[in-house]
A and B are shown apart, each in its own frame.
Chain A
Amino acid sequence: EAGVTQSPTHLIKTRGQQATLRCSPISGHTSVYWYQQALGLGLQFLLWYDEGEERNRGNFPPRFSGRQFPNYSSELNVNALELEDSALYLCASSLDTSGTHNEQFFGPGTRLTVL
């Protein structure tokens, strides 16, 4: 069974540009999560999508946005890039979240570098 996949592996942008990161969850998983792992800041929760809807977002500005498609894949968009947006962006997926908490399975991440 394929795991969570993310593309691209690396992304280099300049300040002010927009970045688009993509994630495909494990087959059968309906929830997708995005986390940012920036140097010195640890892993920070960004966004949670379930059944195509944004369910929760972390303490990030509105220029961080995303969506979930009907096939449950997801896209994270970062507008007006700033130097401090340089980080590893991790996507995770889990089964239907109704009922008990479901463990999250992580992808390999996209390394975003903003110059």
Chain B
Amino acid sequence: AQSVTQPDIHITVSEGASLELRCNYSYGATPYLFWYVQSPGQGLQLLLKYFSGDTLVQGIKGFEAEFKRSQSSFNLRKPSVHWSDAAEYFCAVGPVGGFQKLVFGTGTRLLVSP
């Protein structure tokens, strides 16, 4: 069955430091992969997506992610974190079972220290 694992529940990063959020997936074919961000009390905003082609994808707000098929990973990175990046981050995979739905990881909460 398709699944997504985000092994880190919480991560604390100092402002200005680099960030890497981990995402591993289980999927029978080439997946479509997504990273979403959710600020407190808000909906989800798409940061970036991978469908095919270049395995390094650029997103909004200075984020990037790299698809590594051999490791079944799609880690999210940012070279320099800003205090406004504090939020919850979700990795997702789809479609699932031929249906246009997303399966999400459990999320990683990012805390940014001054």
Instruction: Identify the A interface with B (CB < 8 A).
Output: 4, 6, 31, 33, 35, 42-43, 45, 48, 50, 55-56, 58, 90, 92, 94, 97, 100-109
Among residues 70 to 112 in chain B, which have CB atoms less than 8 Å away from a CB atom of chain A? 90, 92, 94-97, 99-107
A94-B100 CB under 8 A given contacts A42-B107, A106-B36: yes
Please report whether the interface of chain A is mostly helix, strand, loop or mixed according to DSSP. Answer: strand
Is the Cβ of A106 less than 8 Å from the Cβ of B99? no
* Closest-CB distance, A95 to chain B (whole angstroms): 10
B43, B95, B100, B102: which has the most chain A beta carbons within 10 Å?
Answer: B43
Interface membership of B44, Cβ < 8 A: yes
Instruction: State in angstroms the CA–CA spacing of A6 and B94 once bound together.
Output: 23
A109 to B43, CA, bound (A): 6
Contact partner of A33 (CB less than 8 A), chosen from B36, B43, B101, B103, is B101
Stretch touching chain A among B16-24, B45-53, B61-69: B45-53
Tell me the dominant secondary structure on chain B's binding face.
Answer: strand
Minimum CB–CB distance from B4 to chain A (whole Å) comes to 10
10 A-B interface contacts by CB (under 8 A):
A42-B104, A42-B106, A48-B101, A50-B100, A56-B100, A90-B44, A94-B100, A97-B100, A103-B49, A107-B43
Answer yes or no: B25 CB below 8 A from chain A CBs: no
Q: Contacts A90-B44, A106-B43, A108-B43 hold; do A101 and B101 have CB atoms under 8 A apart?
A: no
* Complex Cα spacing A106 to B45, Å: 7
Bound Cα distance from A56 to B36, whole angstroms: 22
Q: Would A58 and B100 be within 8 Å (CB), given that A103-B46, A108-B42, A108-B43 are in contact? A: no
- In the complex, the answer to whether B34 meets A48 with C-beta atoms within 8 Å is no
- Given that A90-B44, A106-B44, A108-B43 are known contacts, is A100 also in contact with B51, CB under 8 Å in the complex? yes
